[in-house]
Chains A and B, each alone.
Chain A
Amino acid sequence: MHRPLPDPAADSRPFWDGCAVNELRYQRCAHCGQTQLIPRALCAACQHDPLQWHTSRGLGRILSFTVVHRAPTPAFKEEVPYVIAIVDMEEGFRLMVNVKDGACKALSIGQPVRIGYRAVDGVTLPQAEVVE
């Protein structure tokens, strides 16, 4: 069983194209100013559609995290234990990522992280790296 990897669609292609060149891109609504991670054809806050793509500085803080010991599929068995975190980015959007070497670190809520990148089966995924 292969690891689930993103299959970019029209809405999300700019995000994954950004990751490929190590840029974390997100949408901001030009009407209400709301940011959103999961790309859409309209703004989930005001339902207007003048969305603009911006590039994040890549800095955020851990909102929550978990060390996963039970892999959901065989593709992740070699990786356990691994850390999944939800990160609040300073631009106001939220993303889910793995934390690089997270299981070896004493993580805490509020921990500052920087978004880096890793290649998995030819796809570039964002990952959080602890800011020491």
Chain B
Amino acid sequence: MDSSQTSLGEFESTLKKHAQELVESLERGRFGEAVQLIHQLNQTRDRGLYQEVGKLTRELHSAIVSFQIDPHMPQAEEVSQITDATERLSYVVKLTEGAANRTMDLVEESTPVLNDLAGEAKALSVDWQRFMRREVAAPEFRDLVKRVDSFLTHSAEGNRKVSGHLNDILLAQDYQDLTGQVIKRVTALVTEVESNLLKLVLMASQVDRFAGIEHDHQQLRAEKDQEKHPTRGEGPQIHADKREDVVSGQDDVDDLLSSLGF
């Protein structure tokens, strides 16, 4: 970075010096000398430009190397870290989906067990109350005793089953550890890629200064904004509590809708 600052400084001081000489030459009518000066100016500018383009190319090359992409290899894409990161994230999606489905399977299996026990208990309770009021005759009582006995067995079985499912639900949350590690690695890669890209942008801006190219950043940003399709949606908002244009929860949504007459 320092060397490009000096070469740019050199170019600018040569530009200033030669510009004064150029004006003098022209005022004195020495056109040959003037053309010579313009030629020298061009040469200095070209030299700096080539230097910066060279640096940019080298930087691009080392960026490609650090992404581990060999452009000559047919399987270049397969070995790149970005592809690796994509695969890692797909693994996260797969793992979380698996855990969610496993949890829901277990809940769906537990609910009928509990519902059956609740139904059985409710029916027994009605007859038990009748027994307490001495409304149950001996033959019916024998039947009631059998039902209580079988309920106790069912209850123990159901309890074992649901406890087992709850334990499995707990175990199904182990994805958090694995996905957390994967996401941290991908985040580190994204940060590295960003800093490499930033370096390239700085290099490119040096080339722009030599070449006298100016970008209309406002226009570029406006074009970028237009590319966003509002109907596509943006997905979950991360800093909802810090943003004015985003609701912070269902209560906020309800307030907004009622202010619209809902």
Query: Is this pair of chains taken from one and the same complex?
Result: no
Residues of B within 8 A of A (CB): none
Residues of A within 8 A of B (CB): none
